[in-house]
């Protein structure tokens, strides 16, 4: 049985007619850049995320970059973040000329270990970027306390966590900025690259709106240096259609996670399943990440691929050990939990359209392999 890690076609088919009609309307109008479709989507995101403002941008990576630019963070500054995340989190810090400072993760939630942050704060520290990874929020209250104590900006990396909730509040409620990605594989994915920044401060929002269009206000007058960070009207219109189904898709992912817990439970000597942190009131399962113990992760990856079951490693090399950051002088063993996660974790399919037969095939294959390895 062939099961992909993600099947976007099954998501698309029920929406095909509505999406194609929307695309046709935009083609007829020829309004491709910003305009009413973008404005409508931004308003929908504000309502969904319970934030005051939203600025649609070209990608989740650019959302992070723009948030740092909006705070004039640059050369000589430091920004604290997690090493166990996609590269764009640290890459945005480097692109503005600042230095990423990596703090190890909590091994249960994979989010930044807030108990280790304060020791890394220096007079150069200007911001913290907590990463709400795999659809689960960071423990934000202690992070916000530190931000207040040291006058730091908090930029929530919510790329994988739209709709996730920390103590009843959706991502974007706490931080100065929340950056969301609409890369096609995300829970809410576009038909290409797109992103959005939410915030609750009007001055910050106004600066973001100028930054995304070359710092221009009014036309041909540039008070600040921005860039071409605009979201396409086509992406905004498609995402606005898909947003209506997001809660239904999230519920499907949550149901699949519960099924996996039942089908894979009771084998703690071999597997560690995702846990929902005590501060998390809504986990949206952008990925379903299992830890494979006893050094069998890579072997299981190969055997699942042979069985035509989609799987992937997020992330095989933590950022502090990437070659481009060798000048930061991190060594193997400096951030042990991130390194351990990189060596043990494996993502298996979690998309909402999975059938029970597919889930049973996936879990039976996993257990058969692990029984063989440990025999």
Per-residue pLDDT for 123 more than 90?
A: yes
CATH number where 251 lies? 3.90.1150.10
Residue 116 has pLDDT above 90, yes or no: yes
Residue 333's CB: how many other CB atoms inside 10 A?
7
Is residue 88 domain-resident? yes
Coil, helix or strand for 283? coil
Decide if 2 is inside a domain.
Answer: no
- Judged against a pLDDT cut of 90, whether residue 180 lies above it is answered with yes
- The answer to whether residue 267 scores a pLDDT higher than 90 is no
Answer positive or negative: Cα dihedral of 68, 72, 74, 78.
negative
pLDDT tens for 276-292 read 999 999 999 999 999 99
- Separation in Å, CA 185 to CA 9, 132, 194, 349, 350: 12, 16, 12, 12, 12
Same domain, yes or no: 77 and 202: yes
Last-in-domain residue among 243, 265, 280: 243
In the numeric block, which tokens belong to residue 122?
A: 């220096």
Rounded Cα distance between 89 and 60, Å, is 9
Provide the 3-class DSSP secondary structure of residue 228: strand
Domain termination site, one of 225, 243, 261: 243
Tell me the pLDDT tens digit for each residue of 73-97: 999 999 999 999 999 999 999 999 9
Least confident of 64-68, 109-113, 263-267, 360-364: 263-267
- Which strand (E) or helix (H) includes residue 248? helix 246-264
Integer Cα distance of 194 and 189 in angstroms:
8
Q: Residue 41: give the domain boundaries.
A: 8-243
Say whether both 15 and 164 belong to one domain. Answer: yes
Tally of domains within the chain: 2
Residue 80 lies in a domain: yes
Looking at the domain assignment, is residue 272 inside a domain?
A: yes
Instruction: Decide if pLDDT at 236 tops 90.
Output: yes
């Amino acid at each position: 049985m062939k099961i992909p890690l993600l099947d976007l076609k099954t998501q698309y088919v029920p929406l095909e007619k509505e999406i194609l009609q929307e695309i046709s309307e935009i083609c007829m109008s020829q309004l491709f850049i910003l305009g009413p479709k973008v404005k409508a989507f931004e308003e929908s995101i504000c309502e969904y995320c319970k934030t005051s403002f939203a600025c649609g941008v070209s990608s989740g990576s650019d959302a992070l970059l723009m948030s740092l630019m909006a705070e004039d963070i640059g050369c000589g500054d430091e920004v604290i973040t997690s090493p166990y995340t996609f590269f764009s989190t640290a890459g945005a810090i480097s692109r503005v000329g600042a230095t990423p400072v990596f703090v190890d993760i909590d091994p249960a939630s994979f989010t930044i270990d807030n108990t280790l942050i304060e020791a890394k704060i220096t007079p150069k520290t200007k911001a913290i970027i907590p990463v709400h990874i795999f659809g689960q929020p960071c423990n934000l209250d202690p992070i916000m306390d530190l931000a207040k104590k040291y006058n730091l900006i908090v930029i929530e990396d919510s790329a994988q966590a739209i709709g996730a909730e920390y103590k009843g509040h959706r991502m974007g409620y706490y931080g100065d900025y929340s950056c969301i990605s609409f890369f096609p594989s995300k829970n809410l994915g576009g038909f290409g690259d797109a992103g959005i920044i939410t915030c609750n401060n009007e001055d910050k929002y106004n600066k973001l709106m100028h930054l995304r269009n070359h710092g221009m206000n009014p036309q041909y007058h540039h008070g600040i240096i921005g860039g071409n960070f605009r979201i396409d009207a086509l992406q905004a219109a498609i995402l606005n259609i898909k947003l209506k189904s997001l809660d239904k898709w999230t519920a499907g992912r949550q149901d699949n996670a519960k099924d996996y817990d039942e089908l894979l439970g009771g084998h703690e000597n071999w597997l560690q399943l995702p846990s929902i942190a005590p501060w998390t009131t809504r986990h949206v399962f952008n990925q379903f990440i299992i830890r494979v113990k006893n050094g069998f992760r890579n072997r299981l990856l190969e055997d699942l691929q042979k069985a035509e079951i989609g799987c992937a490693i997020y992330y095989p090399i933590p950022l502090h050990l990437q070659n481009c950051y060798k000048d930061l002088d991190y060594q193997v063993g400096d951030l042990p939990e991130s390194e351990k996660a990189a060596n043990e974790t494996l993502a298996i399919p979690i998309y909402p359209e999975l059938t029970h037969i597919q889930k049973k095939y996936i879990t039976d294959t996993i257990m058969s392999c692990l029984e063989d390895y440990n025999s």
